[in-house]
Amino acid sequence: MKKEAHLARLALLSTFVSFSAASEQRYDDFGFIGASGAYGQTVFSDKGGGQAALEPNLFYNGQHGFIDGSLANLSLLPYFGLTGQWRFAEVSNDFDQLPNGINDRDGNGEVGVTLGTVGARVTFLHDVTNQHNGYEVQLHLGRTFELPVPDFTLTPYVEIDYRDKKLSQHLYGVSTLESSQSGLNVFEASDSWVYQSGLIGLYHLTPDWLGLAKLELVHHDSSSPLVQRDLGWNVSLGVVYQFTD
């Protein structure tokens, strides 16, 4: 019943895809690149405080597709495209403070398809690098609002990700060896869900340079002992260059 409830929620949210598409027309041929300083804490960290990091920022939305971070989509038909993504390591001591004895989970390349637009989309992605041979289905909904403050926009978003058993085991599973070294219980994962939300603010400092601020929240619906806390969070502030007219 739990899985059916999640699927019903996913289907209900996906009906809003067409309503957000019209609001994106004014942002066709819009893109930026830059970097941000970030501070946050993932759900996998077993320490009390956050960590600082430097994050790249890349975004583009145009007639022939879009790029949103590490995800790129090439439009083949209206509202349908071929999608590729590099999944950066989510469970890694490079980004997390993992319990001792837990091995890093390597990133992987994925290919799939997207239905919708950059701000209202359903994306299917499958591992093509033989890292775990699993797949993920993402529902992403966001909308940009122009505020009374000149040159300032705010974009709230939500995302729900369904991860099959193979991908979930790659990320959340705890082997016998890891259990003996870390003290965590052995864990074999089933399929899982991830819930994300956030706010993105953009402010035009000059015609070509923008200030970028982000607040990101994430919850992993998994009973894995690797998940140390209910909510991961990240705040970032940076400067990006708008490379489109």
Question: How far, in Å, CA of 224 to CA of 136, rounded?
Answer: 18
Neighbouring CB atoms inside 10 A of 15's CB total: 8
Question: How far, in Å, CA of 15 to CA of 120, rounded?
Answer: 10
DSSP code string of 134-175: -EEEEEEEE--EE-SSTTEEEEEEEEEEEE-HHHHHHHH-B-
Check whether 23 has a pLDDT greater than 70: no
How far from chain centre, in Å, is Cα 6?
Answer: 18
Q: Which of 24, 28, 91 is nearest to 60 (CA)?
A: 28
Predicted TM-score (pTM) of the model is 0.87
Q: What is the pLDDT of residue 19?
A: 45
The answer to whether 52 and 39 are in contact (CB under 8 A) is yes
- Domains, the chain, in order of start with CATH, read 30-242 (2.40.160)
Residues linked to residue 109 through DSSP beta bridges, in sequence order = 86
Check whether 66 has a pLDDT greater than 50: yes
The answer to whether 212 and 223 are in contact (CB under 8 A) is no
For residue 17, name the pLDDT band (cuts at 50, 70, 90): very low
Q: Which of 142, 85, 154 is nearest to 118 (CA)?
A: 142
Q: What is the pLDDT of residue 15?
A: 47
Summarised one tens digit per residue, pLDDT across range 194-231 is 999 999 999 999 999 999 999 999 999 999 999 999 99
Question: How far, in Å, CA of 128 to CA of 3, rounded?
Answer: 26
Check whether 185 has a pLDDT greater than 50: yes
Q: What is the pLDDT of residue 32?
A: 98
Q: What angle do CA 229, 235, 239 make, to 5 degrees?
A: 155
